Amino acid sequence: MLFSRLKECIDTFLPDTPMVIESILENELTEFLGKNGFIITRQVTKKKDRYDLLCREGNQLVCIELKQRADISDIEQFDKYLPKFKDGLIVVCWQVSKSVREIFADVVKQSPIPLCLIELSKKYSLV
């Protein structure tokens, strides 16, 4: 399943420096995924939406949304994107607010659509 393989791969992504600009995160993650055999399309615009990264394999399509810092104001966007990507939505960010982390934990348990949140800064923390 594309979603599972993408999630496993992104879990191993370890940027050399903190990601303080979303465009740098997009560049580095796109390059990393490409080196790992994934075909990524960047900044795809459909009607009023713009998806950061899309990964297609056969008839599967997974959206990867990037945020420097995900907070409660981003939930509406994630909620809008989720039903559009039946094969999965992966949110990758440098930092996540506690409220977003809690919302994701609840939604992941209930959602029929694969969904995950990956917080990169946790890889640089002792706690």
Domains in the chain with CATH codes: 2-124 (3.40.1350.10)
Written as six digits, the tokens of 13 are 């992504």
**What local confidence, expressed as pLDDT, does residue 46 receive?**
81
In the β-sheet with 115-119, what is the strand arrangement from edge to edge? 40-46, 49-57, 60-70, 89-96, 115-119
**What local confidence, expressed as pLDDT, does residue 4 receive?**
96
Q: At what angle do helices 22-35 and 2-11 cross, to 10 degrees?
A: 110
**What local confidence, expressed as pLDDT, does residue 45 receive?**
79
Residue 49: strand, helix, or coil: strand
Q: Determine how β-strand 115-119 pairs with β-strand 49-57.
A: unpaired
| Reported pTM | 0.90
Query: Residue 1 above 60 pLDDT?
Result: yes
Query: Residue 87 above 60 pLDDT?
Result: yes
**What local confidence, expressed as pLDDT, does residue 47 receive?**
78
Please answer whether residues 78 and 51 qualify as being in contact, where contact means their C-beta atoms are separated by less than 8 angstroms: no
Lowest-confidence region among 4-13, 23-32, 57-66, 85-94: 23-32
